[in-house]
A and B are shown apart, each in its own frame.
Chain A
Amino acid sequence: MTKIKISIDGKQVQVEKGQTILDAAKKINVRIPTLCYHEDLCVAGNCRVCVVEVEGSRALQASCAIPAQNGMSIRTNSPTVRNARKDIIAMLVSEHNTQCTTCYRSTNCELQTLSAEYNIDNNRYLSILKPNTTKDTSSWSIEKDDSKCVRCQRCVRTCAELQHVNALTVSHKGKDMKISTFHDLPMKDVVCTNCGQCVNRCPTGALTERRYFDEVWEAIGDPNKHVVMNTAPSVRVALGEMLGYPVGTRVTGKMVTAMRRLGVDSVLDTDFSADLTIMEEGTELLSRLKKVLVEKDDTVKLPMITSCSPGWVKFCEHLFPDHLGHLSSCKSPQQMFGALTKTYYADKKGIDPKDIVSVAIMPCAAKKFEANRREMNDSGFQDIDAGLTTRELGHMIKQAGLNFLELEDSAYDSIMGESTGAGVIFGATGGVMEAALRTAYELVTGKEVPFENMNIKPVRGMEGIREATIKIEGALPQWSFLEGVDLRVAVAHGLINARIIMEQIAAGESPYHFIEIMACPGGCIGGGGQPIPTNETIRKQRVAAIYEEDMSMPVRKSHANPEIVKVYEEFLKEPLSHVSHNLLHTTYRKRQHY
């Protein structure tokens, strides 16, 4: 590879051909401020915040966009550059809603940080914020406030390149230029899957999740309400980032204590229902395999695809509605949890389900939408009353004035508080697949999966689509039809990869039996409700924490979870029973494709 030598602020640095001035600066720890630049996305070069002086050029150049060329001499902090940056930031502030005190992203807003650094207030120029800018709160999951948009187009690039959903676009030009949906329709009426990846990459408060913690505070404060909070696997490895811990720290025990201190009546673990999902879905997979391989029933579809990612499910409903038969009929762990909370839990605890408020803490923006799907009230009540993000929980903990770092660890309540390593790995891409295989393989052969420590490495990692083949050997008599079968599985994360998988299925060329699809890059740990910022390093660190947590658990297979055994004994009877079918399974529907 050719090497390029340039000088930045008098310091020499060498980079590969094709790398930008910004790459070179990072190499020698020279910090150039940026705004529209994001590690996960292609370069735009439109905000102009990162402009630098290049000797010999009259105009300043965007360091994120210009490739380094031999002999370049760059100045990143000359008076000319500083004055230009000040003006650019002041211009952004002049078209911005500067009511920071009421803004959800205050103290974690890139424009706020830049303004403070460059000493900008909103008096340098006249405000050109249009008085009629709209705030779209139509969606259950995502709120779009155009008055806070800096038009960096990160959200558009995310929705286009990273997720390939293309629900957002730039419309009009000049002073009317804005970020829109198709024909500026409300977010709830377009193909938005609610994955929230745009929210994770928005530098300001223009795109945020719909927030429901005020309602939850009210429920907590209501003596007649019994508030049950359940937490997803991914929350415990990321919550710490908002509260003083380095990325990748597991804060499970403190998190549980904190939630109790908020005044929640019962702190339970979604991982329990993750184990439940494995029981139901594993059985469903085996049943489909039997129907296809033995009974030759062609109404049953293979490959079967996981259905616990509501962003992925909505994606499938919009864009591949003819292939909904491939989705598992299982609800997600969140929704299974909700259904059981208002039936099994209510019954065991002797509480009237109408007084129960079930709150799910999720790394996910789409779970808010999922909780409000009209199919999700099989308990006779809305199964999950409110979905909160990891970020909202972090906010509540701060609002409660808790010193998170000093809290002692504590354990989840019961019932529905016990879980396994298999449940916790749901948070990482490949985790559902691995958990399912740990149970299904043992169900079929009576033996543990043939991988060291049951760590099924082939389904782990960050490549967009991964595949593995597991040979079934020594099948028990009732599963003899699977003897010798090469079970082919695939794992995909990020909707761009979901699309590739589905196009393969639509073309009739899919070689798999079972596929795990997660809408978000990295799986749930990269979800649309996780702490901001996000990048590949952060996601990898969170994934590592997930697998650490798995190894630390005494039980690592879903079917060995004693509370799971109990719920079947006492209530559900067996996977895919009539009761299970009623409460834990669901249907899907076709949605318009724009």
Chain B
Amino acid sequence: MISKKLKRVDIIFECNGCEPTEVVKKAMKKSPDEIIAAVIESGLRGRGGAGFPTGMKWKFAKEEKSDIKYVICNADEGEPGTFKDREILDVVPNKVLSGMAICAYAIGAKEGFIYLRGEYNFLLKKLQTIIDAFNNSMSKIGLDFAIEIRSGSGAYVCGEETALFESMEGRRGEPRNKPPFPTQAGYNGKPTIINNVETLVYATMIFRLGVKEFKDLGTTDSRGSKVFSISGDTPKAGIHELELGLNLAEFVEEFGDGDTKAVQVGGASGHCVPRKLFKDTIIGFEGIPTGGSMMIFNSTRSMFNILNDYLEFFAEESCGQCTPCRVGTQQLIKGIRAVKQGDMPSEYLDQLMKLTETMQIASKCGLGQSVANSFSSIVTNFREEMIY
């Protein structure tokens, strides 16, 4: 795997021609099949963390026979260390809306929703005004599509697609069994496209700039660029858009504070990469994928505290329905504390590692399945910090 040199890009936030109707009108000159082919050709993959090929998703939804279909923008950004969707919605909201409109046109949906996390309620008023104007302009250009905002109320797990549907349907945000998948039966049991905020902006930009421009960035497996939320022990904390496929060592050189011990790639549900592995790590779908969260830790930080923090987060935010996640997260917290305090031998950490393997393969949804990522990467690479 060859990584790309660190390269800053400015696709997401550039605001030339931010007015949405132009790009939607331009897209509508193509047929729905042509639009979907373009998105597939571009290689765009979901930017929320899961990385599903966006074009394929749109294709599946288009192929479903149903009078009612939905396009939902997942703005329930709750992953620790991630704040890029907030910035995107604040600075370039129209790009999100036009991405939704293009998708709606391609799959045959008339209703769109933005599920905005409750912690971002301060964006509501501004967004509503923009959306009202947008809905108006869509009807003017002959697209039967209108968007509504729905608010979350403080539940990280509602970022999981089926949990999000449950929440919108007035229920507890407990993930559903899959199959059926969202494109088959999502919100209200109808075919639904649910895309991350950033994914929708890239979808818009593919139609504004062209498929080739997007494809030329990144690598074969990780086409395009991505917005990163960078925080922690860094002098350059904030939002940075970079080409995908970059090497972590170069990233640290650019963004670290000179004393970087570890980088948490992908938030609490991501991987913790220790210094010795920086040069061998690629940020992209062929290496370590991420929803954009990059938390940088220097040598003054305790990896035990960091792991403890992540596990407490999961134990609180788990929906609680399935055994491996509900109990597993609590077991991991109690276990690492017991080892740290000397109440249990260090070998118990190995038993906990096996437990995370079970969580990874037996949990009902991505939350429980991802706990293993940070647990095993931290315990493996920083074992000495876990022990009394």
Residue from A59, A66, A173 within 8 A of B317 (CB atoms): A173
Interface string of B63-93 (1 = CB under 8 A from A): 0000000000000000000000000000000
CA distance A129 to B179 in the complex (A): 33
Interchain CB contact under 8 A, B335 and A126:
yes
Interchain CB contact under 8 A, B177 and A65:
yes
A173-B361 in contact given A47-B323, A126-B331, A126-B334 (Cβ < 8 Å): no
Q: Is the interface of A mostly helix, strand, loop or mixed?
A: loop
Q: Is B320 an interface residue (CB 8 A)?
A: yes
Q: Is A351 an interface residue (CB 8 A)?
A: no
A550 CB to nearest B CB, Å: 44
Chain A residues, Cβ within 8 Å of B321: 44, 46, 151, 153, 170, 177
B122 CB to nearest A CB, Å: 24
Interchain CB contact under 8 A, A62 and B334:
no
A173-B319 in contact given A60-B362, A80-B361, A84-B358 (Cβ < 8 Å): yes
Interchain CB contact under 8 A, B319 and A83:
no
Interchain CB contact under 8 A, A91 and B324:
yes
A51-B320 in contact given A128-B330, A174-B315 (Cβ < 8 Å): no
Q: Which of B318-372 contact A (CB under 8 A)?
A: 318-324, 326-331, 334-335, 338, 344, 351, 354-355, 358, 360-364, 369
Q: Is A342 an interface residue (CB 8 A)?
A: no
- Using CB atoms, name the residue of chain B closest to A91: B327
Q: Size of chain A's interface in residues, with CB distance under 8 A? A: 37
CA distance A153 to B319 in the complex (A): 13
CA distance A177 to B354 in the complex (A): 25
The residue among B317, B322, B328, B363 with the most chain A CB atoms within 10 A of its own CB is B322
Interchain CB contact under 8 A, B319 and A177:
yes
Interchain CB contact under 8 A, A174 and B329:
yes
CA distance A200 to B214 in the complex (A): 60
Interchain CB contact under 8 A, A175 and B315:
yes
Q: Which of A148-192 contact B (CB under 8 A)?
A: 150-151, 153, 170, 172-177
A333 CB to nearest B CB, Å: 41
Q: Size of chain B's interface in residues, with CB distance under 8 A? A: 38
CA distance A92 to B330 in the complex (A): 12
CA distance A594 to B318 in the complex (A): 28
CA distance A160 to B328 in the complex (A): 28
Q: Is B378 an interface residue (CB 8 A)?
A: no
- Using CB atoms, name the residue of chain A closest to B365: A59
Interchain CB contact under 8 A, A173 and B172:
yes
Interface string of A56-71 (1 = CB under 8 A from B): 0011101001110000
- Using CB atoms, name the residue of chain B closest to A67: B179
Interchain CB contact under 8 A, A173 and B322:
no
Chain B residues, Cβ within 8 Å of A87: 324, 354-355, 358, 362
A174-B324 in contact given A45-B364, A83-B358 (Cβ < 8 Å): no
CA distance A128 to B179 in the complex (A): 32
Q: Is B34 an interface residue (CB 8 A)?
A: no
A172-B358 in contact given A48-B364, A126-B335 (Cβ < 8 Å): no
Q: Which of B148-162 contact A (CB under 8 A)?
A: 155, 157
Chain A residues, Cβ within 8 Å of B329: 174-175
CA distance A47 to B325 in the complex (A): 10
Chain A residues, Cβ within 8 Å of B172: 170, 173
CA distance A45 to B323 in the complex (A): 10
CB within 8 Å: A-B pair count: 116
Interface string of B30-72 (1 = CB under 8 A from A): 0000000000000000000000000000000000000000000
A47-B322 in contact given A62-B364, A92-B327, A174-B315 (Cβ < 8 Å): yes
- Using CB atoms, name the residue of chain B closest to A177: B320
A173-B320 in contact given A83-B358, A95-B327 (Cβ < 8 Å): yes
Residue from A66, A83, A88, A176 within 8 A of B323 (CB atoms): A88
Q: Is B316 an interface residue (CB 8 A)?
A: yes
Chain A residues, Cβ within 8 Å of B316: 173-176
B321 CB to nearest A CB, Å: 4
Residue from A62, A95, A177 within 8 A of B177 (CB atoms): A62
Chain B residues, Cβ within 8 Å of A51: 361-362
Chain B residues, Cβ within 8 Å of A47: 322-323
CA distance A126 to B344 in the complex (A): 10
Interchain CB contact under 8 A, A151 and B326:
yes
A199 CB to nearest B CB, Å: 22
CA distance A94 to B329 in the complex (A): 12
Chain A residues, Cβ within 8 Å of B369: 59
Interchain CB contact under 8 A, A177 and B326:
yes
CA distance A170 to B318 in the complex (A): 14
A43-B315 in contact given A91-B328, A125-B331 (Cβ < 8 Å): no
Chain B residues, Cβ within 8 Å of A94: 327, 331
B365 CB to nearest A CB, Å: 10
B195 CB to nearest A CB, Å: 23
CA distance A59 to B319 in the complex (A): 19
CA distance A528 to B243 in the complex (A): 64
Interchain CB contact under 8 A, B319 and A174:
yes
Chain B residues, Cβ within 8 Å of A84: 358, 361-362
A128-B334 in contact given A172-B320, A173-B319, A175-B320 (Cβ < 8 Å): yes
- Using CB atoms, name the residue of chain A closest to B330: A128
Chain B residues, Cβ within 8 Å of A91: 323-324, 327-328, 331, 355
CA distance A15 to B94 in the complex (A): 49
B334 CB to nearest A CB, Å: 5
Residue from A48, A170, A175, A176 within 8 A of B362 (CB atoms): A48
CA distance A189 to B174 in the complex (A): 28
23 A-B pairs within 8 Å (CB atoms) are namely A44-B321, A60-B361, A87-B324, A88-B323, A92-B323, A95-B327, A125-B331, A125-B355, A126-B334, A126-B335, A126-B338, A128-B327, A151-B320, A153-B321, A170-B320, A172-B320, A174-B314, A174-B318, A174-B329, A175-B320, A175-B326, A177-B318, A177-B319
Minimum-distance CB pairs A-B, first 6:
A177-B320, A91-B327, A87-B358, A65-B177, A46-B321, A174-B318
Chain B residues in contact with chain A, CB under 8 A?
155, 157, 172-174, 177, 179, 314-324, 326-331, 334-335, 338, 344, 351, 354-355, 358, 360-364, 369
| Given A125-B331, A173-B157, 7 new contacts (CB under 8 A) | A48-B324, A60-B361, A66-B179, A95-B327, A151-B321, A175-B326, A175-B330
